[in-house]
Amino acid sequence: MQFPFRLASLIPFWRSSDEPRPPKYNFTLGDDVFSPMDLVSMSKPGTGFANPAGDLFLLPIKTYNATEVEDRYSVLLSSLGVAGQRTHELVLGERDSVFWLDSRTIAHVVHIETEESPYEQYDLKALSLDLKDSSDGDAGYLRVLSSSLIATLPTLGASDFQYLPQAQRLVFYDQISKDGYFPAYGPEEEAEQLEDPPPFFASMFERLDDSDSYVVRELRMSDLSKTDDGSWALGTDYIRLTPHEPLPEITEQHAYDLSEARIIYAVGAGVEPSGCMCGLELPRDVGCRIDGSTTARRIAKARSVTSPRLNNAGTKAAWFEDNSKIVIYDTLQDVEFTLIDRMGVHPTSLVFSDVDDTLYFTGGNDILVSVYSLRVPGTPLSGSLDPHPVPTLITETTSLRGLEAFPNGSLLATLLSYASPNEVVLIRDPQGSNLVEQITHVNDGITRRTNLTGGEAFDIPGIDNAHGWIFRPKDWVKDDGIKRPAILIHYKGPGAWRNQWSKLSNPNIFAAQGFFVVLISTNPLPRVCSSDPQRLKKLSAGWNHVLSTYLEIDRRRTIFIDEDLNENVLRAVTDSGSKHGLQFKLAFGTFSTDHNLYFQCLDHDDVYRAYDFLQSVAD
């Protein structure tokens, strides 16, 4: 029986030679089997973010509709009250976005198509909320009371909005053409969509990713205030905060932060570092605007600057530097000092406490992300700390990001694992009991029905700080004498484990079909370069450890998948004379575009969509 795919993205397609196509893979089906269709149809939540009061949060969600063959966008609005959780869902357009104006008002940026040039616009609307907790038999509710238009934005490239209620300022990223044309300009052209995939990954990557040849990113600010009658008014002056400097790419973590009267942001310095650039970004400057002045104060320069943050008062700034340090800057005394000199883990998220001078941050290795707290000491007169303070471990998990501090001292974060996409968690009393409570359960229906597992981590013998994951086949019983095929999936790059649901080649798909699945990241420590021979050494050590541990693996039916399409690695693992002892039957690189997942075999220039290559090692 063939798997009943309705998606065009799950149909095998072209081969560059005249050889016959491989037979379609016969998927094992059942309500308790996690299938590719389950993976595609699962909701894909983003990162949760709370209102200023810390009693409501928003969670953007994207869900694929197989019937309409399109994505559905929405945002989950949920309460965090002790009297029971209330939820409300807002349906969004594909290019809509939301952010908080105050604790009971959501800003909704609505994309609208028009009949006149430039044939589209973005309207800024205010959604007023009403929350009532349950009491005395009343079930309570969370609802949208009203929606009102604030203004039509004079730009088509605005994103990553943040509002500062105390100063009544709206700050956002904007994409501006290099001739500085503002406000009426068109957005960057969409990527060209190909009717037929090209024969090589490189050409696909080049054509599908637009270059920023005529677009620059900058920060802009405008007045946004609430009038006496409760309506909102957007100012007409759009102050350019970064007039001559390129900003980094927009990611899930803001590249800027706000306090009562200050803005801190990172910009590209435009000079490449010397030596090895493995995993490192271009040099970055950190600027801090003081009290709304028109001139930014440059406060640091490093090869890599991420997560610039300010405390509530704006008196202290913090950021990750060179993927190994936490740096503090005293904005009043104009003194910079290093809080942690060498982290030993890859930093991911950083936030100041809402109630004191505690700094919360996360750092990850090959398999786990840990959450730490550290009280920021007084500013040293010499600009250095001796000794450096030791952070306190709060909790550790498979992957966690998007830390946000609440006025009551709790932390909001987004948790994900191989067993589930993003879910929102609350860390109560982070300096005491450290109780981690999962707040959302977006995909519980599928995860419980299919009994998804997060895999089991293992140490790689003989190599320091080296780990991997293994997923055992569904219905596997130890020492049952049944030989099973196996797949080794290779990740590389800092923080490879933080995006565990970002690829369509999720290991649970293969494990559900009776495969052992091994995942090994050749993730170098911060500021450490890892060459292909070093990666192969780690892969070989980890793979041979798994083979010696699980004798049920059939060595004649093994597949290697490299998610970076590294040609040197792919050829080495299938070379019968390889000194690394990695002799797989087949080796593929993967790449994906939207819902399409491709597997490319370099030796034959063959590319497969979906999972039909599994037939090569099936029983």
Q: Rounded to an integer, what distance in angstroms lies between the CA atom of residue 329 and that of residue 347?
A: 18
Q: What is the pLDDT of residue 178?
A: 53
pLDDT tens, position by position, 175-220:
765 554 443 333 333 333 333 333 332 222 222 223 344 456 778 8
Most confident of 17-26, 120-129, 174-183: 120-129
Cβ pair 129, 143 in contact under 8 A? yes
User: Above 70 in pLDDT, residue 456?
Assistant: yes
- In CATH, what number does 246-442 get? 2.120.10.30
Q: What is the pLDDT of residue 181?
A: 45
Q: What is the pLDDT of residue 180?
A: 47
Report CA Rg, the chain: 26
Q: Rounded to an integer, what distance in angstroms lies between the CA atom of residue 328 and that of residue 316?
A: 7
User: Above 90 in pLDDT, residue 5?
Assistant: no
Average pLDDT over residues 468-481: 89
pLDDT tens, position by position, 511-565:
999 999 999 887 655 445 556 777 888 888 999 999 999 999 998 899 888 877 7
Q: What is the pLDDT of residue 424?
A: 94
% pLDDT > 90, the chain: 26
Choice between 368 and 205, residue whose per-residue pLDDT is larger: 368
Residue pointed to by tokens 């928003």: 58
pLDDT-derived band at 83 (thresholds 50, 70, 90) equals low
Q: Look up residue 65 and give its two tokens.
A: 């509709």
Q: What are phi and psi of 295, to 5 degrees?
A: -115, 125
What is the residue extent of each domain of the chain? Answer: 8-40+449-617, 47-240, 246-442
Cβ pair 355, 334 in contact under 8 A? no
Average pLDDT over residues 295-305: 71
pLDDT-derived band at 82 (thresholds 50, 70, 90) equals low
pLDDT-derived band at 231 (thresholds 50, 70, 90) equals very high
Q: What is the pLDDT of residue 1?
A: 30
Which of 8-17, 43-52, 202-211, 268-277 comes out lowest in average pLDDT?
A: 202-211
Q: How buried is residue 102: exposed, middle or buried, by Cβ count under 10 Å (0-12/13-18/19+)? A: middle
Q: What is the pLDDT of residue 135?
A: 61
Choice between 97 and 612, residue whose per-residue pLDDT is larger: 97
Q: How buried is residue 327: exposed, middle or buried, by Cβ count under 10 Å (0-12/13-18/19+)? A: buried
User: Above 80 in pLDDT, residue 471?
Assistant: yes
Q: What is the pLDDT of residue 187?
A: 37
Average pLDDT over residues 239-260: 66
pLDDT-derived band at 105 (thresholds 50, 70, 90) equals very high
Q: What is the pLDDT of residue 568?
A: 77
Average pLDDT over residues 299-311: 80
* Half-sphere exposure of residue 364: CA atoms within 13 angstroms, side-chain side: 22
Q: Look up residue 465 and give its two tokens.
A: 């700080």
User: Above 50 in pLDDT, residue 280?
Assistant: no
User: Above 70 in pLDDT, residue 320?
Assistant: yes
% pLDDT > 70, the chain: 72
Q: What is the pLDDT of residue 224?
A: 95
Q: What is the pLDDT of residue 27?
A: 80
Q: Rounded to an integer, what distance in angstroms lies between the CA atom of residue 376 and that of residue 351?
A: 12
Of 2.40.40, 1.10.3470, 3.40.50, 3.30.70, the CATH number of 8-40+449-617 is 3.40.50
Q: What are phi and psi of 354, to 5 degrees?
A: -85, -10
Q: What is the pLDDT of residue 483?
A: 92
User: Above 90 in pLDDT, residue 353?
Assistant: yes
Question: How much of the chain is in helix, strand and coil states, percent to nearest 5?
Answer: 10, 40, 50
pLDDT tens, position by position, 405-419:
998 888 999 988 888
Nearest Cα neighbor of 335 from 300, 293, 374 is: 300
Cβ pair 107, 101 in contact under 8 A? yes
